[in-house]
Amino acid sequence: MNGPVIDLRQISKSYGDTEVLHEVDLSVEAGEILAIVGPSGSGKSTMLNIMGTLDRPTSGSLALAGHSVEHLSDDDLAELRAVHIGFVFQHFHLSAGASAVENVADGLLYSGVPRAERLARAATALDRVGLSHRLAHRPPLLSGGEK
């Protein structure tokens, strides 16, 4: 794919009179590793929810893998997520009975990828972030940052 996998242009998000994001521009290329940091309440989760199409911006445009998402229906967004986005939720969203690699592999569950390939991709992803030594660990045995 040519071009960014995530492309935010002039993204703003307000809840009533409170503006959480103001005209954010961000492009993320394939293979790029990105950290979103800031103090509590600065809009990090809101921006991640918009990038993951779990929430819609008040204004601006978002494209994922070259697909403009502004006018997609909820069903079309769900399909886009299933094909192009994998979610790894923190803390209470992790399955306590599953290993780290199984929790990460669950992000591909609805994409139709066979289980063995999901686990292999999850192991590769965990290795990329320095957690290959924790693949078999269950969430209660992981630190907050590892979760």
Percent of the chain with pLDDT over 70: 95
Nearest to 127 by CA among 100, 145, 106, 92: 100
Res 13: pLDDT: 96
The structural domains of the chain, ordered by start, are 6-71 (3.40.50.300), 91-141 (no CATH)
Q: Which residue has the higher pLDDT, 91 or 7?
A: 7
Per-residue confidence band for 89, with pLDDT thresholds at 50, 70 and 90: low
Q: Which residue has the higher pLDDT, 142 or 10?
A: 10
Is the pLDDT reported for residue 91 higher than 90? Answer: no
Q: Residue 26: is its pLDDT beyond 90?
A: yes
CA distance 23 to 2: 24
Q: What is the pLDDT of residue 87?
A: 66
